[in-house]
Homo-oligomer: A and B are copies of this chain.
């Protein structure tokens, strides 16, 4: 249980104060947060949210998310996201890089732009001590959410920058289909790039829009333990976040979901 962390997206409708209390009660010590959590009403700003979490003895494992480098104003928005990660004590800012610009078909150009965008953010990351984590998303999100579609590609994009500034996210939901992922996890360890490890299961049928189709650990077909053993073997000793987006999960009480996430983690990941 020491490495288990709840990503707040899993319990999207659980207000942060309740989530914090629930985690403490359940013996969970790490939480992955979203910028929306920090901006929510009643938080007294980021400092208030940071204090709430800190005073409860919890660690913020990551902040989601920066990225979307195809959006207007992306540079300032990402600098703000880095500042928020620093303010809330998150060591890692997860980056979802954005899809193809509207009406464009040039994936190579979009991917090159991600690399350049990282370069523009690296100085601020180093200055604040927040590590950027490039997240490869499942290829079904390639056009509209993230042109980075494999771990190999994420590592290639991170390559030019210091590992303490740019790492990668290993998320089982996005990578489980890829037979090259094991070699790439090994490489990620060797290159000291594993900044974040997130766990969700693959369940079908996918819902319309495909964003909210994930399963809690153990409810799908991903060999989650193989992933955990692979990141361990690659030298990763950090937290393991359960991050599930699913309407069916969100519709249930936060505490019940947390208990299921823990049970699934213990049975299928740990």
Contact = CB atoms under 8 A, between A and B. Distances in A.
B206 A107 contact: no
B138 A222 contact: no
A159 interface: no
A248 to B, nearest CB: 14
Interface string A133-172: 0000011101110000110010000000000000000000
Given A206-B210, A208-B206, A177 B221 contact: no
Contacts of A209: 205-206
B177 A142 contact: yes
Contact of A205 (B100, B149, B208): B208
B139 A204 contact: no
Contacts of A208: 205-208
A142 B153 CA distance: 20
A179 B111 contact: yes
B140 A153 contact: no
Contact of A223 (B106, B202, B222): B106
B143 A140 contact: no
A107 B139 contact: no
Contact of A179 (B104, B106, B153, B206): B153
21 contacts: A105-B222, A105-B223, A107-B176, A107-B177, A107-B223, A138-B139, A138-B140, A139-B139, A139-B177, A139-B178, A140-B206, A140-B210, A142-B176, A142-B177, A143-B177, A143-B202, A143-B220, A149-B177, A150-B179, A205-B208, A210-B210
